[in-house]
Structure 1
Amino acid sequence: MVIESLKTLFNRDLEKLKVEIESYQNEEAIWAIDKNIANSAGNLCLHLMGNLNTYIGAQLGNTGYIRNRPLEFSSKDIPKTELIVKIENTIIVVNKVLDSLTETELESIYPEIVFEKEMTTGFFLIHLSTHLAYHLGQINYHRRLLD
């Protein structure tokens, strides 16, 4: 049951992320920053894709994904269509990995220490879902303020 709930949340928010990126009228605005807005929507999108492909794809799904976190925040002017493809590919990875997990595996210790202490896989997946939702809200505000 928890796995299906996680799948529902990840799919809902990743689909909403896709809608947010598609909704920019001015593609250049995706990469805009302003006085108190340090990260562009494009960089937050790249950060979310790197985060999910690392912690769900590579760690739990053995996809071989290699993260370059600094590029998530320094890359600029990637076309909107390319960002959408990255989101769609991430949706596939997340669903494939979650479909392969068992409820018992959710109770096991996540294979990497991320917050300086051990945690269960289930706990960390919940964290990843809330992390996605947090940045999704920032992207929504970014679009409404700067597009």
Structure 2
Amino acid sequence: MLIETLKTLFDRDLNRLRIEIELYTNEENIWKIDKNISNSAGNLCLHLMGNLNTYIGAEIGKTNYIRNRELEFSLKNISKAELIESIEKTKIVVATSLDNLTDKELEREYPILVFDNKTATGYLLIHLTTHLTYHLGQINYHRRLLDLD
């Protein structure tokens, strides 16, 4: 049951991320920063894609994805269409990877040390849903504050 719940949450919030990116009326504003807003919506989107493709795709789905976290925050001016394509591909990776996961594997130790202490795979996946939602909220505020005509 937890796996189906996780799949539903990831799908819901990745769809919401796509909508947030689509809602930018001025594509250049996706990359805008201002005052105390140090991360653009575009960089947060790239960060989320790197995060999910690493911890779910590469480790659980065995996709061979190699993360370059630094680029997630330094790349600029990726087109809206490319960001949306990345979101759609990540949705497939997440769903496929979770489809191959068993309830027993949720209880096993996650193979990478992500926090100060080792955690169960299920714990890490729940963390990843909240991480996605946290940055999704930031992107929503970014758009409403900085996507001005």
Per the shorter chain, which TM-score range?
A: over 0.9
Specify the code of the residue in structure 2 equivalent to 1:114.
V
Deviation at 1:100, TM superposition (A): 0.5
Q: Which residues of structure 2 form unaligned runs of 5+?
A: none
Corresponding position of 2:140: 140
State the identity %: 70
Q: Over aligned residues, Cα RMSD in angstroms?
A: 0.4
Q: For residues 118 and 23 of structure 1, what CA distance do their matches in structure 2 show?
A: 39
Counting only pairs closer than 5 Å after superposition, residues 1-147 of structure 1 correspond to structure 2 as 1-147=1-147
Q: For residues 118 and 28 of structure 1, what CA distance do their matches in structure 2 show?
A: 40
Q: For residues 145 and 118 of structure 1, what CA distance do their matches in structure 2 show?
A: 38
Q: For residues 2 and 108 of structure 1, what CA distance do their matches in structure 2 show?
A: 14
Specify the code of the residue in structure 1 equivalent to 2:136.
L
Deviation at 1:116, TM superposition (A): 2.2
Specify the code of the residue in structure 1 equivalent to 2:64.
G
Q: For residues 92 and 65 of structure 1, what CA distance do their matches in structure 2 show?
A: 14
TM-score, normalised relative to structure 1:
0.99
Q: Name the count of aligned residue pairs.
A: 147
Specify the code of the residue in structure 2 equivalent to 1:135.
H
Deviations 1:99-146 (A, max 9, x none): 100111000000111102110000000000000000000000000000
Q: Which residues of structure 1 form unaligned runs of 5+?
A: none
Deviations 1:62-82 (A, max 9, x none): 100000000000000000000
Q: For residues 100 and 71 of structure 1, what CA distance do their matches in structure 2 show?
A: 29
Q: For residues 109 and 60 of structure 2, what CA distance do their matches in structure 1 show?
A: 11
Q: For residues 123 and 68 of structure 2, what CA distance do their matches in structure 1 show?
A: 24
Runs of 4+ in 1 over 3 A off after TM superposition: none
